[in-house]
Amino acid sequence: MGNKTVNLIGKNSMRIVLTLLPIIGFLILWQLAAMFTSIGNLMPGPIQVIESLFISFAKPLGPHTIQMHALYSLKRVMVGYGSAVVTGIIFGVSLGLSKMFRALFRPLFELIRPIPTVAWIPISILWFGVDEMSKYFIVFYGAFANVALSVYMGIQRVDPVLVGAAKMLGCSERQLTFKVVLPSCIPYIFSGMQVALSAGIMSVVVAEMINSYEGIGWNIHAGQQTANMTQVLTGMVALAIFGLLMAAILRQVERRMCAWNTRNT
Amino acid sequence: MEYQKYIEGRKAVITCKNVCKEFDIRDRKQAGSFRVIDDLSLSIYENEFVVLFGPGECGKTSAINILSGLDRPTAGSVFQGDTQITRPGIERGVVYQSIALFPWLTVMGNVEFGPKARGIDRTQSRKRAQELINLVGLQGFENAFPISLSGGMRQRVGIARAYANDPEVLFMDEPFGALDAQTRYMMEEEILRIYEHEKRTVVFVTNNIEEAVFLADRIILLKSCPTSVKQEYIIDLERPRSYTAPRFLEIRQKITRDMDKAL
Amino acid sequence: MADSEVDTRQREILVRVRDLTKRFDDLLVLDNISFNVYRHEFLCIVGPTGCGKTTFLNSLTRLYDITSGEILLDNEPVDLRKHNISYVFQEASAMPWLTVEDNIRFGLKIRKFSKDVADARVEDVIKLVNLQKFRNYYPAQLSIGMLQRVVIARAFATNPTLLLMDEPYGQLDIELRYMLEDELIAIWEKTRATVVFITHNIEEAVYLGQRILVLTNKPATIKREIVNDLPRPRNIADHKFVELRETVTQLIKWW
C-alpha cells in the first residue's frame, strides 16, 4: 500500500514539474535576454514587470491602481457578457425550436456574425456615446454569437430516442422543451460560455484601448503612448491572471451544474 | 391446433392489422420510398410474454415504434383494446436498446419522470418509484447518475422507468442487445422475475434466438426486410428453462432453420 | 492449474507468457498469469464480465506496458514492427474511404509487400470470404456481416504469425454468427494461422476453440485450461458439446 501511495505522489509531483518547467524556463530566458542583450534597451525583464505589478497595487497607474482598473474591466465584462449569455441562450433556443424564428432571423444573424468586433467600435460610439454603454455593447457583441451558436447546435443534437422516451412517458410538448431539450443542452451552453468569455475579454480590451480612461486595456494603450513598456507588460500580465481566474470560476460552476456529465463526482 | 388452444379465453390487448411502413429516400440521385414493413398483422394477448424474433435489421424497431404509437404506419392500423393507437401514450411503456436514460437525472429522477410529468401526487409517485427501484435491485443507488452505473444497472433503471407509469403493455426493443453475453443471461433471469412479480403484457424484440426461447410464451418469427409474420411458435417449456436442455436446443434449432437467411 | 495432458504434448510454443501482471495505479487487473500459445492452434479465452480480457490482449500487443512478467513471441519480446500480428476488434473497423479491395490491401501496403505478392494475397482472401462481387464497394454500402468479413479478410491477408480477435462477433445476430464462425474455421484450417480468440460467449468458445482458457474474476488469473477435441463441424445440441459448455459455464457463473 505504502509503495503505491509513494508512486502516486511521484506521478503528481512529476506532472507539476512538467507544468512549471517551461514557464520558469521562459521567465529565465526573458530575464537573461533583458539583462544581457539589446532587448533590454527596449523592454524590461520579468522581475521588473512583477515588481511594477506589485507597486501598482498601491501606487496608481494613471488615474487608478491596477486592481481598480481590473474592476472597471470586470464590470464591463460582467454586464456585456452577462447580457450576452442570457439573450444568447434565448436566441439559440428559439433558433433551434421554432422553424418560423429560424426562417426569420437565421439569415440576418449569419450576415452580421462575420463582422469583427473592432469594426463595430465607431458605430457603437456613434450610437451609445463614449460612455460605458458603448463598451457593454462591444463586449456583448463579442460574446453573443458564441453562446447563441452553441445552444443552437446543442438543440440540434438532442438524442431523438430520448425525446421519444419522454413522449412515451407522457411528456407534453411544453414539458419536452424544459424537461428534455434544455437539460440535454447544458453542456453545450457551458462550452459556448467558455468560448464567449475569451471573446468577451478580448472585446473589452479592444474597446478600452480605443476609447477609455480606465481599465486594463487603457493601461496597455497608455503604456504604448508614453513608450512605457513596463506598463504595457504589467497590463498584459494582469490580463493573463484576470482571464485565468474568470475561466476557472466558470469551470467550477459548470462542474457543480453538470455533475451528471462527469464520472466520480 | 396448438395455437387455437393457446389463445382460447385470452383477451387481445394489441391488434395490428395489415400494417405497412415506408420511408422516403432522399438521395441526390433518386427519390422514392423504402418499404420496411409489408402487411404485418398480429395480435398480442393479455399478460403473455411475446417475443418478436427476426434477422438483424429486418424492421423490428420500426414495428415497435408503430405498435407503441411513436410512429404512424403508412397503411393499416393498430388497436389497443378498442381504441386505435395514433400517438405515444402512457398505456404503453418502452424499454430501449440504447437504454435512453436522462443523463441529467438521478436513478430516482429517471424512474419518477413519467408520474411527475403527468402531475401525479408526489408522495404517492415517490413511494411507487422506490418500490420499483427495490424490485429491480437498485436500492442504495437512488441518487446515482446514470453515467456512474454499469450497462446492466442502467437497463434495470430503464425497466423500472417503463413500469412506473403502470402501462398495460411493455415493449422492450432489444433491451439487452448492448450487454455482454453473461450480463445478458443474468438480465434474462431478472426480467422473468420482474415479469412474474408485476404481471403485464410484454412484447420483447430480439435477434438472439437463445434469448427468445428462454423468455417467450410465444415467439413470432419475422421475415427479413420488408418484414411481416413468417411463423409463430408456442413455447410450452417449464420455467426456469435451461439453455442446454435437449428440448430447448431442439426448438432453438428448428426456429433457426425456419428463419430467413439474410446477409 | 493446467491439465497435465496439455503440458505433456510436445508442441511448438509460439507465445510464452510468464508471470504476467498488470496494474492500473491501484487496480490489479492481471495477476501472475502464465501460459503458452502453441503454433497453429485456435485458442479461446473466456472469463467473467470485466475480468480484464481486453487488458490482457492489449498487454500482449504492447498497447499497454506490462507491470511485470514477460511475453515472448518466438523467444523474443513482442515487437509490433518486427512480428506480424493482426488484430480484429469488436467494432468492424474498416476504413470508410477505401473500397473492400483496398481495405484488404491496406495491411499489405503498410508491410511493403511487392505488388505481385499483394495482388495474389488479396485475390486469395477475397475468395475465401466470398466477397469477389463486392470488391469495389465502400464499407457504408455493405451489411454488417459483410463488413465483418472484410475485417477478417484484412487480418488474414498479411498471413500473420498471430491473429488476435477481441469479441469480433459480439453484437451480431446468431444466424450470422454461426455462418461467420464456420467461415473463420475454414480460413484458419487453410492458412494454419495461430488464433487467440477472446469472447464472453461460452457457446462460441466451445464451438471454436481447440483449447479454452477460463479466467477468474478480477484480478484475472487462469482458472482452468480445457482441451476441446470435439470433431468439426461441431453441433451445439450434441450431448458432449452441451456437457463441455456446462462445465465452462459453471466455472464462470458469477450471478
Which residues in chain B are closer than 8 Å to A166, comparing Cβ atoms?
A: 102, 113, 117
| Average pLDDT of the residues in C101-129 | 89
My answer on whether A7 and A78 are in the same domain is no
**What's the confidence (pLDDT) of residue A212?**
87
My answer on whether C126 and C226 are in the same domain is no
C166 assigned to some structural domain: yes
Chain B residues in contact with chain C using a Cβ-Cβ cutoff of 8 Å: 55-57, 177-178, 180-183, 185-186, 189, 207-210, 244, 246, 249-250, 253, 256, 259, 261-263
- Residue type at C149? R
Q: How far apart are CA C197 and CA C212, in angstroms?
A: 9
What is residue B86's three-state secondary structure? coil
Q: How far is C68 from chain A (nearest CA, A)?
A: 15
My answer on whether C182 and C251 are in the same domain is yes
- Among C115, C145, C160, the domain boundary falls at C160
Q: In degrees to the nearest 10, what's the CA dihedral of B120, B123, B125, B130?
A: 170
Chains that touch A (3 or more CB pairs under 8 A): B, C
C208-to-B64, B120, C212, C229, C236 alpha-carbon distances in Å: 35, 54, 9, 10, 11
| Average pLDDT of the residues in C161-171 | 85
List, in sequence order, the alpha helices (H) in B31-150. 60-68, 107-117, 122-135
Which residues in chain A are closer than 8 Å to C25, comparing Cβ atoms?
A: 4, 7-8
Residue with cell 400494417: B19
A65 assigned to some structural domain: yes
Residue C240 CB coordination number (10 Å): 14
A212 assigned to some structural domain: yes
Reported confidence tier of residue B27, pLDDT bands at 50, 70, 90: low
pLDDT at B41 > cutoff 50? yes
What is residue A186's three-state secondary structure? helix
The H or E element containing residue C79 is none
Query: β-strands C68-73, C13-24: how paired?
Result: antiparallel
Closest C-alpha to A142, from A85, A189, A104, A183: A85
**CB within 8 Å: C236 and B209:** no
My answer on whether A128 and A10 are in the same domain is no
Number of independent structural domains in chain A: 2
Q: Is B238 left (phi over 0), alpha (psi -120 to 50) or beta?
A: beta
B121 assigned to some structural domain: no
C35 assigned to some structural domain: yes
Q: Locate C37 and state its grid cell.
A: 500459445
| Average pLDDT of the residues in C186-201 | 90
- Among C113, C130, C160, the domain boundary falls at C160
> A133 — phi, psi (to 5°)?
-50, -45
Q: How far apart are CA A219 and CA A217, in angstroms?
A: 5
In this structure, what CATH number is given to the domain that contains residue A155?
1.10.3720.10
My answer on whether C165 and C251 are in the same domain is yes
In terms of residue numbers, what domain contains A128?
A: 46-257
C223 assigned to some structural domain: yes
In this structure, what CATH number is given to the domain that contains residue C60?
3.40.50.300
My answer on whether C179 and C78 are in the same domain is yes
Please give the interface size between A and C, counted as residue pairs whose CB atoms are below 8 Å apart.
4
Nearest CA in chain B to C146: B263
Sign for the CA dihedral angle at B254, B256, B260, B261 comes to: negative
My answer on whether C77 and C126 are in the same domain is no
Facing A168 at nearest CB: one of B70, B103, B106: B70
Nearest CA in chain C to B54: C173
A243 assigned to some structural domain: yes
My answer on whether C103 and C76 are in the same domain is no
Chain B residues in contact with chain A using a Cβ-Cβ cutoff of 8 Å: 65, 68-70, 88-90, 92-94, 96, 98, 100, 102-106, 113-114, 117-118, 145-148, 161, 164-165
| pTM of the full structure | 0.82
- Residue type at A127? W
Interface contact C65, partner A, CB < 8 A: no
**What's the confidence (pLDDT) of residue C71?**
87
Reported confidence tier of residue C54, pLDDT bands at 50, 70, 90: confident
The H or E element containing residue C212 is strand C211-215
> C116 — phi, psi (to 5°)?
-60, -50
A262 assigned to some structural domain: no
Q: Locate C219 and state its grid cell.
A: 484480478
**Which residues partner with C195 through β-bridges?**
C42, C163
**What's the confidence (pLDDT) of residue C190?**
87
Residues 6+ apart with CB under 8 A from A80: A135, A136, A137, A138, A139, A140, A142, A143, A200, A203, A204
- Among C128, C160, C192, the domain boundary falls at C160
C128 assigned to some structural domain: yes
**CB within 8 Å: C200 and B189:** no
Q: How far is B116 from chain A (nearest CA, A)?
A: 9
Number of independent structural domains in chain C: 2
My answer on whether A72 and A165 are in the same domain is yes
My answer on whether C47 and C167 are in the same domain is yes
Facing A183 at nearest CB: one of B94, B96, B104: B104
My answer on whether C183 and C253 are in the same domain is yes
My answer on whether A204 and A248 are in the same domain is yes
Interface contact A261, partner B, CB < 8 A: yes
My answer on whether C165 and C149 are in the same domain is no
Number of independent structural domains in chain B: 1
Facing B100 at nearest CB: one of A162, A260, A261: A162
DSSP symbol at B237: P
My answer on whether C71 and C170 are in the same domain is yes
My answer on whether C253 and C198 are in the same domain is yes
Give exposure, C127-148, as e/b (b: 16+ Cβ within 10 Å). ebbebeebeeebbeebeebbbb
My answer on whether C188 and C221 are in the same domain is yes
Nearest CA in chain A to B162: A169
My answer on whether A227 and A154 are in the same domain is yes
Nearest CA in chain A to C26: A4
**What's the confidence (pLDDT) of residue C48?**
78
In terms of residue numbers, what domain contains C12?
A: 1-83+161-237+244-255
Closest C-alpha to B259, from A173, A243, C69, C174: C174
CA atoms in the 13 A half-sphere facing the CB of C240: 9
When the pLDDT of each residue in chain C is averaged and rounded to a whole number, the result is 85
**Which residues partner with A12 through β-bridges?**
none
List, in sequence order, the alpha helices (H) in C1-52. 4-8
| Average pLDDT of the residues in C223-227 | 91
Quote the percentage of chain B above a pLDDT of 90. 70
**Which residues partner with B78 through β-bridges?**
B16
C4-47 pLDDT, tens digit per residue, is 444 445 688 899 999 988 888 778 888 888 999 999 999 999 98
Q: Is B95 left (phi over 0), alpha (psi -120 to 50) or beta?
A: beta
In terms of residue numbers, what domain contains B79?
A: 3-91+167-262
My answer on whether A213 and A103 are in the same domain is yes
In this structure, what CATH number is given to the domain that contains residue B198?
3.40.50.300
Q: How far apart are CA B257 and CA C94, in angstroms?
A: 31
B138 assigned to some structural domain: no
My answer on whether A61 and A174 are in the same domain is yes
Q: How far apart are CA B191 and CA A26, in angstroms?
A: 63
> C102 — phi, psi (to 5°)?
-70, -30
pLDDT digit string (tens) for chain A, length 265 residues? 344 444 556 677 888 888 899 999 999 999 999 999 888 888 898 998 989 888 988 888 888 888 899 999 999 999 999 999 999 999 999 999 999 999 999 999 999 999 999 999 999 999 998 889 999 999 999 999 999 999 999 999 999 899 999 999 988 888 999 899 999 999 999 999 999 999 999 999 999 988 888 999 999 999 989 888 888 888 898 889 989 999 999 999 888 887 777 654 3
Q: How far apart are CA B222 and CA B209, in angstroms?
A: 12
Sign for the CA dihedral angle at A101, A104, A107, A108 comes to: negative
Burial of A178 (0-12, 13-18, 19+ CB in 10 A): exposed
A245 assigned to some structural domain: yes
ipTM of the complex: 0.84
Q: In degrees to the nearest 10, what's the CA dihedral of A192, A198, A202, A204?
A: 80
pLDDT at B116 > cutoff 80? yes
Q: How far apart are CA B10 and CA A96, in angstroms?
A: 48
